[in-house]
Structure 1
Amino acid sequence: MYKIKLAIILSLCLTGCLFAQQLATAVADTTKQEVKRDSLFYSADSVSYLAELEKIKLMSNASVDYQNSNIQADTILVDLKNKQASTKGDSYLKDKDQIAIGKEIFYDMETEWGMVIQGASRFDKGFYYGNEMRKVGKRVFDVDNGYFTTCDAQTPHFYILAHKLRLYQDNMVVGKPVIFYVNRFPIFALPFAAFSIKRGRETGILIPSPGYNSNDGKYVENLAFYYAYKNYADATLGLDYYEKTGWEISLASRYVKRYLLNGNMLARFRKTNMGPQASRNDWLFQLNHHQQLSQQSTLDADLQFISSKNIWEGSEDIDERLNEQITSKIAYRTPLWGSYFNMNANYTEDLSNDTKSITLPSVSYALPSKPIYELFSENNHGSSWWKGFSYSYNLRAVHNGFITDPNADLADVIYQNSQNAQGEYINQHNAGIKHATSLRFSHNLQGWLKLAQTFYYNEAWFDRDKNGNQLVRGADYRSSSSVSFSLYGIKNFNNFSLRAVRHIVTPSLSFNYHPDFTENDKFYSFGGINLSSADRSRRVSFNLGNKWQLKLLAGGKEKKLNDFFTINSSINYDFEKEGRRFSDINHSLKLNVGQLKYNFFQLSVRPYANIKQIPYDFEVNSWRDWDLPIADWNFRANSKLSISGDASYADYFPMAENQFAANKFFALESDSLQTDAETELETIEDIENLKLSSKNWSVNFSHDFRTDKDMFAEGDFYNSVRTSLNAKLTQNWTISYDNYIDLEANQLRSYSITLNRDMHCWKLYFRFTKQEDYWNYQFKFFNIKLPDSLLFQNSDHK
């Protein structure tokens, strides 16, 4: 129950900011006016005027314009008295933005009523054909013995045939009875059907997705109501019902206001049947929010709460199923004195160990290093030595809680400390403030010898210490001095692809000191609030850096490869330590060969290793006999091989478009509105002139290998490879495949395959995923123009 309360508390923290600013909209002034054309304009090769009947007969290339309407046909008869027009032969009618074609057209210019015989028209996202088409309302059309399709081919691949069709422009299509045809073959029939052809977002009931799988039985998904609020927000309230496993209700919302805020929310509640008399309830709440409070101040929230991992059962997202930890956070940021002031809240739940941690709040402010002289003067004083003094300051205030009690309530999570019978904390909360300052002097002596001296001071205030004392404070400090310089060596090559090698050697020596702070052991350490509790230390450190840089010549162009190979070695000498005062010698090696490219291939390899040696074990028997034992080492190499290219595809049998898509009317000599005309290829030139399309293909191999001294001694190592393939097999077939292979165990851990098939106006999608004993698949077949209205899908999982 505390999770619900905590989610409400964190969400309410956003409320004041969500509506802190008014959402204002401005209505632009306009002087636009429509000019109405009342005159009748007509033209034709031959014009006959019937005076007694007050009619005009236009023959051959006839055209009539009245207001926003235009009629073209072989023959047009205009009734001037009744303001009506009729046509014979191939006819064309344009009424505002609506176009219709047919064998005969009747049109009333006064009422804007019209009828088309053996006609066709284009509405919104589809095309409509019928024996008789009538305009019965301002945006309402009836079609007798007609069919609808979104296919723009001259011979449609599919269509929906109905004895009666009614079209509500920019709204929906209603028909009865309805038969669905594919390649002129009937697939299924319905006594009645209606589907939306609305553009953009529109409030209404969404089309549900029924189906069946072995796990859930019969089911209905996405039985939902969609609400759209202007251009700023929308929300979907949905219900999924499963015959065997139960039901789920969800609420999803999105919102956006340009330059101000954006975000999304998801809430789910699931009831799962566990047996005849048993069930389980699971819930999830997610919120992602970003708000620009001012020009540079922002508020961000990423909240996630769940009842248990069971809510992710059956999820197609592998990361969700494997997730062992969820985190919610709120962050506020605003500029302050040349830096940023940050305030955060964080809640993390470990699902595997059933523990929780909370940071509420966390406040931080960091003033970056700045020259001291800027506090007193804005003038640039040249290269004066005292300009090397600089300072920095950091502030951090934190309240932190760690909860291990599985039955903790809201008070236990927010602030309350609790102990078990043995006096051990099962719910522990700490609060504190830490100030961190530094004073630094740096100077380049003679332009090459770098000198630096730094003093650090930290002070922390705690709500209590380990002895039970309330409101306590402590401090620590340390100093550091260092000297370093760099040596450069260059070797040029004139007759090789390798033009030059530069070797940079950077030795550095530093001394660090801090007094005895063991009494600080009584203070807690949490959330970045801590103090040193180490013994007195006086330590000299020596570091030797080696870096090699290359200049290459490839294809007549020079290429620089910085940090091609680096070796860093370090050793310390501790004056306070008894016995062996030298530390181990640590070496780190990195090789960066960059990306090697050749035609279709691209290879990158990044090996790096760490080696540890004990100087007291070194033995030098002679100048040729050195024993340099290695105490410990580890090695890791990441490599990636990519093979990619372009494949060209040509459509050797291009599909003839209908007259609306081609924007060519009266181009057909056939008596039918549809023909099977195709472009014929007769010569080599015809083939070469075909429009080619290039599609990328790629194969990627990512290999990860790592081991260390102990693992290597036991013949153990980590060795894995990930493979991915993306290719367009043909003009319309696309395949994607990826897997994860554990080479050490010689086992395929997971894989997925995705197939896509473009079918002109339809698309087929199939995806199968398998990870150990879990598998799922998803199948979708949908219309590209009406993916929500014309959709067939199925899925299953185990």
Structure 2
Amino acid sequence: MQSLKFAFLLGCFIFLSDSTFSQSISIPKDSSALQAKSTEGILPADSVPSTAPKTSAAVETTIKYKAKDSIFFDVNKRQVKMYGESKIIYGSTELEAAETQIDWESNTISANGVQDTTGKKIGVPVFIDDGQTYVTQDMKYNFKTKKAYISGVVTQQGEAFMHGEKIKKNEFNEMFVNSAKYTTCNLEKPHFHIASSKIKLIPNDKIVAGPFHLRVNDIPTPLGFAFGMFPLPRKRASGIIFPTYGEERRRGFFLRDGGYYLALNDYITVAVLGEVYSKGSNGLSVKTDYRKRYAYNGNFNFRYNKQRISENIEDTLVQKDYWIQWSHSPVSKGLSRFSASVNAGTSSFNVNNPSDVARNINQTFNSSISYSTSFPGTPFNLSSSLRHTQNVRTNAVSMSFPEVALNMNRIYPFKFKGSSGKAWYEKINLAYNSNFTNQIANRPLKRVDGTDSTYYEPFNQETIPTLIRNGRNGVRHTVPISTSFNLFKHFTVSPNFNYNEIWYFKSLDWNLNPETNLIEADTIQGFSRAGNYNFGAGINTRMYGILNFKSERIKAIRHTFIPSVSYSYNPDYTDPSYGVYKYVQDSLGREVLTNKYQGFVYGTLPQGQSSSISFSLSNNLEMKVHNPKDTSRTDKKVAIFENLSVTGSYNMLADSFKLSDLRLAARTRIFDNKFDVNFSMLFDPYVWRTDSTFMNTRGEEQILERRLNEFAWQNGQGVGRLKSVDLSVSTNFNPKAREAEAKNPNTMRGMDGNPLPPGSIDPATGLPVEMNNFSNDMSPEMAHLYTNPNEYVDFNIPWSLRVMYNIRWNRSQSSGTATTLEPNITQTIRTSGDVNITDKWKIGFSTGWDFTKKEITQTDIRIFRDLHCWEMNLNWTPFGRFTSYSMDIRVKASVLRDLKYNRRRSFWDN
């Protein structure tokens, strides 16, 4: 809590000293009491004669005073009285009261309120100093001894309020408060407060309290202590963090997340927390937050746990786990930029730490650390990064370190100063990209039959040296060259040429081993390179068509047609003259194609000659309609299809099956933009012939088919064979909520539709949520809400109901391979929402149904209660693998955030 700056009295008594005020207004000593002709005035700072001795009470700035009713000057009694909303302004200090009296004989200033006709006291003294406001019942101050007596003071310090019945202030600005109340409730009679019979306040230092206890609705509770001391400066302070308590079936009674909060300075804070369980498990975590305004912000968390594997107390087997989280986000300024998003640890950490349900659902974690800089006056920029991917279920780990990229922005070598830039040769541009990477990854474990399993070998201090030695590394260079020009005014032609080159520091030489009769590779150490090129061109245009109607409702339909065709050519790099591929005879005399870069980080050169034509036909259909009920008579555009497209390609040099699969995709909004609909279909344009059908060992009917090099439409089979269909429909039935989500289309949301905090992983995509929207101007409270969005409840939206439906139908088939007749269908519906039961109650939920498994998906129920200065959160997962609940009742204000009650039950306890 900030010090009660009772220096507000200083501004009052300074200008009221006998040596300054009397000289400034020059009132004769023998004159009678006078009423001022004006109810306001100004005493300039230079009104004191220059010959007057300067004292500590000298007026240093202009004093403004006024009263709504009147101002009386009594020279005989040496008093000034102001009536009716009196106000004194001295610099940054203001004093307002119904009545104010200054007495030079007793060297005092007093201010008080008056009672209105109903008996209510109005116009109580209100003091403002440096933005702080103090409300009192009445006050009296001796500007000679600098002592004051105040009754009924209420002041706000940050998020807290201090109430005091009687206050005495000494000459050192120290205050002694009788019957004090400390609370974060802004009511005149607060819902709760910490009560103490006496408190001493030392400005800008501390509060020393006698015996204190917590009172709720003025009912005393046993929570309290014999004495207390609290820091007052408006800055972060170190202190003890009280743990939460509870019980788990597996680990027993616990004290969790208790420790010490260390405020190193205004930029860095550290929290050291521990947890201990009655059955022997324990853990330690270090949480660090740092921030430099207009530069960067971030946090670093390290957590270490030692878990007992068995519930039997005699079994001493333990498992040690750790997890690291680091998020760093810079301000986009200057030439250089450093950012980090790290999520890594032991694969068993999530299994042994069930308190975070979202973490247990997620299986893949990604990390990245990157640095980039540009070179002034040149088109070049340099970047380096470390990337990490980890699957905690399969133990698969891959890491790229370092990744270095040197890039040159596009330049126009034939565009000179003063030229128009419209000629085709002036539009010729080229760029350069160079990438170096070094990758290490653990290998899959082998099954008994020698095949790879879905689980990977451990990634630990014993296996890492071998992985580093077997790491994949190389350099790739890319030079794209392109231009564009208009043809017949309406067509845009874009030729392009691309050259790629790969560098490796070893290569493979494949030969037949006569002892094993297998084709094996010898590793040849040394520099090796290969280059390839491709070229092509694209042409596109845009056509419009409008169909007008004489209908009262439909005015017109506009069709936008965007056809595009592109051509690309790739040589056949399997030709031995390129030095990358070679044919080796196996033990049966068959020719086997091998390549010297098989399995390398940037791959090898493409196989087979390709001369392909790709095409895309995109359509946009929108309708202009008129609503007769609309008095403004304005027409409205309604999208029939925001996009309806067909894409495919044709390889003219392929031996067979030259035409690729055809994809039909559509996107639209229906029912007045209430529902978003995405639809796609994939067709195989060739004929499939059934060779045979049979029953497998499981009693399923299977079919053996063969793909023929004949187009389906030539055999009366339409466009082709349907391979897959995807349909998704989503909406939020509340227009206000739908508009709010539309205003933030880039916000990443989880499966329940709620925004995800930065640094977390989106369970739908497995990608990290970036901190691009994080503002460095945010207050600590807003930053806390941004990184903990579940703690924010928006009562401005009375209800919200999101529904997401997805269905996928697909039939995968390889020519000559048996498969079942039934296609694979996956179908889910996910819904989430919330509703305000009252202005203070909100209930939210998220659930779904898996039509394939015929079971309810992960279900969560959330209840929030606004208790004015308190709040209650209840989260319940009623069934499923992660059945659990948690309840928190806590003070809203962060200054008393530890004043709370927690109750939790983990899904391990079932």
* Residues 455-474 of structure 1: pairs in structure 2 closer than 5 A: 455-467=497-509, 468-469=523-524, 470-474=526-530
* Residues 172-251 of structure 1: pairs in structure 2 closer than 5 A: 175-192=209-226, 194=228, 196=230, 198=232, 201-215=235-249, 218-244=253-279, 246-251=281-286
Describe the superposition over 1:315-360 as per-residue Cα deviations: whole angstroms up to 9, x where unpaired: 5544421333333322122235435332222233333333332222
Q: 1:403 aligns with which of 442, 464, 477?
A: 442
With 697-706 and 345-354 compared, the bigger mean Cα shift is at 345-354
Q: 1:476 aligns with which of 524, 532, 538?
A: 532
1:532 Cα deviation (Å)?
A: 1.7
Describe the superposition over 1:101-149 as per-residue Cα deviations: whole angstroms up to 9, x where unpaired: 458x6644333333446x4433525555566433357454334445444
With 724-733 and 293-302 compared, the bigger mean Cα shift is at 293-302
**TM-score (normalised: structure 2):** 0.66
Q: Note the aligned Cα RMSD (angstroms).
A: 4.5
Question: Where does residue 718 of structure 2 map in the other structure?
Answer: 628
CA distance in 2, matches of 1:230, 1:497: 66
1:634 Cα deviation (Å)?
A: 0.7
Describe the superposition over 1:388-443 as per-residue Cα deviations: whole angstroms up to 9, x where unpaired: 654443322222222338466669647x568xxxxxxxx62122222223445655
Change (3 A) 1:65 1:745: closer
Change (3 A) 1:258 1:146: closer
Matched, 1:793 2:896: no
CA distance in 1, matches of 2:599, 2:867: 60
Change (3 A) 1:160 1:331: closer
How many residues in Structure 1 have an aligned counterpart in Structure 2? Answer: 696
* Residues 266-281 of structure 1: pairs in structure 2 closer than 5 A: 266-274=301-309, 275-276=313-314, 277-281=316-320
Question: Where does residue 566 of structure 1 map in the other structure?
Answer: 644
Change (3 A) 1:517 1:760: same
Q: 1:706 aligns with which of 793, 808, 832?
A: 808
Question: Where does residue 392 of structure 2 map in the other structure?
Answer: 351
CA distance in 2, matches of 1:508, 1:62: 80
Supply the AA of the counterpart residue of 2:677: V
Matched, 1:110 2:219: no
SS of structure 2 residue aligned to 1:627:
coil
CA distance in 2, matches of 1:92, 1:627: 91
1:639 Cα deviation (Å)?
A: 0.7
Question: Where does residue 592 of structure 1 map in the other structure?
Answer: 667
* Residues 20-419 of structure 1: pairs in structure 2 closer than 5 A: 36-39=14-17, 80=105, 97=129, 99=134, 101-102=136-137, 107-116=141-150, 119-122=152-155, 124=157, 125-128=159-162, 132-135=166-169, 138=172, 140-167=174-201, 175-192=209-226, 194=228, 196=230, 198=232, 201-215=235-249, 218-244=253-279, 246-274=281-309, 275-276=313-314, 277-291=316-330, 295-310=334-349, 313-314=352-353, 317-336=356-375, 337-338=378-379, 340-367=381-408, 370-374=411-415, 377-380=416-419, 384=423, 386-387=425-426, 389-404=428-443, 406=457, 413=464
CA contact (8 A) 1:749 1:771 kept: no
CA distance in 1, matches of 2:14, 2:600: 73
Change (3 A) 1:776 1:449: same
Change (3 A) 1:501 1:191: closer
CA distance in 2, matches of 1:35, 1:50: 18
CA contact (8 A) 2:204 2:233 kept: yes
Identity of aligned residues (%): 16
CA contact (8 A) 1:47 1:59 kept: yes
Supply the AA of the counterpart residue of 1:342: S
With 779-788 and 284-293 compared, the bigger mean Cα shift is at 284-293
1:635 Cα deviation (Å)?
A: 0.8
CA distance in 2, matches of 1:614, 1:120: 87
Supply the AA of the counterpart residue of 1:566: L
CA distance in 2, matches of 1:172, 1:528: 62
SS of structure 2 residue aligned to 1:365:
strand
CA distance in 1, matches of 2:71, 2:542: 97
Change (3 A) 1:363 1:132: closer
CA distance in 2, matches of 1:489, 1:57: 86
CA contact (8 A) 1:299 1:332 kept: yes
Supply the AA of the counterpart residue of 1:758: D
Change (3 A) 1:81 1:698: closer
Describe the superposition over 1:609-640 as per-residue Cα deviations: whole angstroms up to 9, x where unpaired: 1111206545789xxx9333733421111111
1:454 Cα deviation (Å)?
A: 4.2
Supply the AA of the counterpart residue of 1:504: F
Question: Where does residue 768 of structure 1 map in the other structure?
Answer: 876
CA contact (8 A) 1:291 1:299 kept: yes
Question: Where does residue 434 of structure 1 map in the other structure?
Answer: 476
Question: Where does residue 641 of structure 1 map in the other structure?
Answer: 731
Q: Gaps spanning 5+ residues in structure 2: where?
A: 1-10, 23-32, 36-69, 115-120, 444-455, 510-522, 582-594, 628-633, 688-708, 738-794, 813-818
Change (3 A) 1:259 1:289: same
CA distance in 2, matches of 1:509, 1:146: 80
SS of structure 2 residue aligned to 1:754:
strand
1:295 Cα deviation (Å)?
A: 1.6
Change (3 A) 1:617 1:156: same
CA contact (8 A) 2:236 2:265 kept: no
CA distance in 2, matches of 1:747, 1:570: 38
CA distance in 2, matches of 1:459, 1:146: 78
Question: Where does residue 673 of structure 1 map in the other structure?
Answer: none
Question: Where does residue 567 of structure 2 map in the other structure?
Answer: 510
Describe the superposition over 1:661-705 as per-residue Cα deviations: whole angstroms up to 9, x where unpaired: xxxxxxxxxxxxxxxxxxxxxxxxxxxxxxxx9544211111111
CA distance in 2, matches of 1:308, 1:288: 20
CA contact (8 A) 2:322 2:346 kept: yes
Question: Where does residue 523 of structure 1 map in the other structure?
Answer: 596
CA contact (8 A) 2:206 2:233 kept: no
Supply the AA of the counterpart residue of 1:204: S
Question: Where does residue 493 of structure 1 map in the other structure?
Answer: 549
Supply the AA of the counterpart residue of 2:565: S
Supply the AA of the counterpart residue of 1:121: V
Matched, 1:557 2:635: yes
Supply the AA of the counterpart residue of 1:324: Q
SS of structure 1 residue aligned to 2:349:
helix
Change (3 A) 1:344 1:646: closer
CA distance in 1, matches of 2:498, 2:155: 77
**TM-score (normalised: structure 1):** 0.74
Supply the AA of the counterpart residue of 2:146: E
